[in-house]
Structure 1
Amino acid sequence: MRFPEFTGEWKEHSLSEYLEFKNGLNPDAKRIGKGIPFLSVMDILADGVINYDNIRGKVEATEKEIESFGVNSGDLLFQRSSETLEDVGRANVYMDNRTAVYGGFVIRGRKIGSYDPFFVKYLLATPLARKRTCRMGAGAQHFNIGQESLAKISLYFPSMEEQQKIAEFLSLLDERIATQNKIIKKLETLIKAIGNKLLFGDEQNIRLGNILIERVEKSTTNNQYEVLSSTVKGIFSQRDYFSKDIASENNTGYKILRRGDIVLSPQNLWMGNINHNDKFDIGIVSPSYKIFTISEEFDCHYIAFLLKTRKALYGYMSVSEQGASVVRRNLNLEAFYELTYKIPHIAEQRRIGQILSKLKDKIESEQTYLEMLRAQKQYLLSNLFI
């Protein structure tokens, strides 16, 4: 796939022809948290390019350190170490003229050759570049890549004009992805605000034990059902769904989860590990999870949204603080069942549940579109580059 005005052959070059590599600054802990922007791996992995204003960390640095470990516009920054081989050596570009420095888990590629910085950022994310970069990674518990290894990586570069054309095209797609992320975040903020406003009122005080009924139904046949992901965390998030994988192991003893059920982890409940299965008719989850049905006297969508709000979790923590036998890593069902909430009558529950469900569906629709844009970008990265 190529723009029609370009016909010349791409030429293979090593990164050492374009970049001069250097490891980052390793300050003591007392200097971290104030000073000038201090670029880290998290900044490399963030969406979009790196600029002065979006760098997360700060550090007190001397003039000599700034001179030695400063970043200039157009410099490439590489992730030096990773827990997974697939992430080692991931790269981003700094596009700002203001002074910032980079940390020890980062390798700087100082621009010494002529290239379009955006093009090289995209080039380094292509399947071929990732394959050749990962091949250079080494390690046991952590995978690492060094300056010499990065310098040896060779990739194909077109003319400067074609670099700029490709970079401009992909930058437009990145801008659309960034806009889509903002749309989703605004919808998430909206549903949280509406939820906190509507879900808690001055109506009847109901004990949680009268709402949830624990159910234990176990799989008895191998590969009988689809395995639902263990991701049960999130509060009104576009990630509040169960991804599914076809079972390929012995699933006897797994708990069966049916549509409408509430599932929660008995460990770390204070972190919000709770979800509502409104996606699949049936599936199985880890035996360690607790499965609840919602009493027919209550609207399942209303109760599901209620239990996933931060106010609901704070209520749980307040019981813990009053001396109930609850520890962070194990759910005490007696204390859990004694939680009480102000819940309206069923007609109002249904009205609120419908409002929040429509907003949740809108978020999921926007998330699906975001995934489509990301897939489109990956397709282009695989086809616009040699």
Structure 2
Amino acid sequence: MDVPPLRFPGFSVEWERVKVSDLLDFFSTNSLSWDMLNYENGKILNLHYGLIHKDLPTIVNMKDANLPFINNDKIPKNYTICESGDVAFADASEDTNDVGKAIEFINIDRDIVCGLHTIHGRDKTDITVDGFKGYLFSSKAYHNQIRRIAQGTKIYSISSKNMDEIYLGIPSKREQEKIFALLYAIDRRIATQNKIIEDLKKLKSAIIETEILHNTEADIIQLSNICNEAKQIKEEKPTYERIITVRLHAKGVCRSTAENLELGATQYYIRNSGQLIYGKQNFHNGAIGLIPDTLDKGLTSKDIPSFDINSNICNPTYLLYQLQHPSFYEPVEAFTTGSGSKRLKEKDFLSLQIKLPSKDKQDKIAYSITKISDKIEFENQILTLFQKQCQYLLSQMFI
């Protein structure tokens, strides 16, 4: 039977296979760039393809959506105003998974037009309900076909003519309504989950700002007062599996995935868990972290030196939160030296100044921030589950 693998109970009628070009009418769109748009004021809102790729959900509910206005002196002479139930596709992308990505408008209460690199479509058959098409064009059944017909090498593209080659299944309107209600509820929950995570990140950032970076009661000391360069123990028989590195933008320590490592050409040194390491060439890009227990006895070259922290006077986690903040590590680029690839030498690193309150205060601050970090990780795991659930349904509920 012509039905999807997963359906709601009570539905048994086969779906109708429809060519997308028979389902939708297509309208011309404008080519306005970002410098012709603004978020302050105007008469007409504009959908730029970049918003489809990055910011907008599958269903764009205009009761709470934020789109830019067209600058009043750039309004095109001819345009088609979007209606509730209209869909818009991004016609170009560097990724075949994103070319043809679609959104659907609902609850439109303002004038909106489709802009640069979009395809504007409208149901001309009246066989779909508002909201269903957004998920239909997000389904695996749709994207599998789009990937086969997308053209290009570095940039992949489609046009409205390609819709002649795509066939999708359409159920009864009652079944469409149930599919839309389920997926829209999950999407709204995902939006809520993202808001929870964003608020936790703001809370974490605020605590770091107020309790660490702008703590007026803390002493100002050099790192050399709490850190010393660790003893250099050579590893005579290094293996790829033990080589570790420190990621940019304060993303911590991990196993190296570099494919061009030459074990015989570089001397490696043993690093211990709890030690602080940084990348000499990229400290100012946030390449600094603490070695976790899981990477104990990992190996780095001299370009990633290690330091022991005096934990009697300094909480290592508190220290890391301070060092990993952009306002701390970015200005350090001024201390890098050398021709070609500039490096932050060990002596210059140890001369950097930090703010250090009492050990008891450090412990409390580090504990609070770590708890928030753990909460963010937990909420991210929940977000991933919702996203996987949505992707599963999009792969199983459409044909």
Whether the TM-score (by the shorter chain) exceeds 0.5 is: yes
Q: Do the aligned partners of 1:219 and 1:284 also contact (CA within 8 Å) in 2?
A: no
Tell me the residue number matched to 2:49: 41
Tell me the residue number matched to 1:139: 152
AA aligned to 1:368 is Q
Tell me the residue number matched to 1:83: 94
- Out of 13, 17, 22, the position equivalent to 2:18 is 13
Structure 1 pair 71/251, CA: closer, same or farther in 2 (3 Å)?
same
Tell me the residue number matched to 2:85: 74
Tell me the residue number matched to 1:24: 29
Structure 1 pair 206/113, CA: closer, same or farther in 2 (3 Å)?
farther
Is the partner of 1:171 in helix, strand or coil? helix
Confirm whether residue 207 of structure 1 aligns to residue 207 of structure 2: no
CA distance in 1, matches of 2:211, 2:194: 26
Q: Do the aligned partners of 1:187 and 1:363 also contact (CA within 8 Å) in 2?
A: yes
Structure 1 pair 28/221, CA: closer, same or farther in 2 (3 Å)?
closer
Tell me the residue number matched to 1:94: 105
Confirm whether residue 187 of structure 1 aligns to residue 195 of structure 2: no
TM-score, normalised relative to structure 1: 0.81
CA distance in 2, matches of 1:286, 1:157: 57
Confirm whether residue 4 of structure 1 aligns to residue 14 of structure 2: no
Confirm whether residue 50 of structure 1 aligns to residue 60 of structure 2: yes
CA distance in 2, matches of 1:181, 1:140: 34
Structure 1 pair 269/150, CA: closer, same or farther in 2 (3 Å)?
farther
CA distance in 1, matches of 2:135, 2:151: 24
Is the partner of 1:117 in helix, strand or coil? coil
Confirm whether residue 111 of structure 1 aligns to residue 123 of structure 2: yes
Tell me the residue number matched to 2:322: 306
Confirm whether residue 224 of structure 1 aligns to residue 241 of structure 2: yes
Give the unaligned 5+ runs of structure 1.
Answer: 235-239
Q: Do the aligned partners of 1:208 and 1:340 also contact (CA within 8 Å) in 2?
A: yes
Structure number with larger C-alpha Rg: 2
Shift of 1:187: 0.9
TM-score, normalised relative to structure 2: 0.79
Note the alpha carbon deviations across 1:335-379, whole angstroms, 9 max, x for none: 554321121233332222111111111110111111111111112
CA distance in 1, matches of 2:135, 2:235: 48
CA distance in 1, matches of 2:351, 2:125: 67
Note the alpha carbon deviations across 1:28-81, whole angstroms, 9 max, x for none: 676333634321223213352224453443322579737514322211111111
Give the unaligned 5+ runs of structure 2.
Answer: 1-5
Comparing 30-39 with 349-358, greater Cα deviation is found at 30-39
Confirm whether residue 375 of structure 1 aligns to residue 388 of structure 2: yes
CA distance in 2, matches of 1:358, 1:133: 44
Q: Do the aligned partners of 2:336 and 2:342 also contact (CA within 8 Å) in 1?
A: no
Q: Do the aligned partners of 1:66 and 1:101 also contact (CA within 8 Å) in 2?
A: no
Shift of 1:18: 2.0
Structure 1 pair 99/12, CA: closer, same or farther in 2 (3 Å)?
same
Structure 1 pair 86/282, CA: closer, same or farther in 2 (3 Å)?
farther
CA distance in 2, matches of 1:69, 1:279: 60
Note the alpha carbon deviations across 1:243-282, whole angstroms, 9 max, x for none: 879x695755497876445555556655545454548435
Equivalent pairs counted in the alignment come to: 375
Alignment of 1:124-135 (within 5 A): 124-135=137-148
AA aligned to 2:30 is L
Q: Do the aligned partners of 1:212 and 1:292 also contact (CA within 8 Å) in 2?
A: no
AA aligned to 1:302 is Y
Is the partner of 2:154 in helix, strand or coil? coil
Note the alpha carbon deviations across 1:301-346, whole angstroms, 9 max, x for none: 11111122344246547xx3xx98699x845446554321121233
Structure 1 pair 361/140, CA: closer, same or farther in 2 (3 Å)?
same
- RMSD over aligned Cα atoms: 3.7
Q: Do the aligned partners of 1:93 and 1:121 also contact (CA within 8 Å) in 2?
A: yes
CA distance in 1, matches of 2:88, 2:236: 49
AA aligned to 2:69 is K
Is the partner of 1:155 in helix, strand or coil? strand
Aligned-pair identity in percent equals 26
AA aligned to 1:296 is N
Q: Do the aligned partners of 1:66 and 1:100 also contact (CA within 8 Å) in 2?
A: no
Shift of 1:103: 2.0
Tell me the residue number matched to 2:371: 358
AA aligned to 1:26 is S
CA distance in 1, matches of 2:373, 2:247: 17
Is the partner of 1:70 in helix, strand or coil? coil
CA distance in 2, matches of 1:21, 1:349: 61
CA distance in 1, matches of 2:77, 2:290: 51
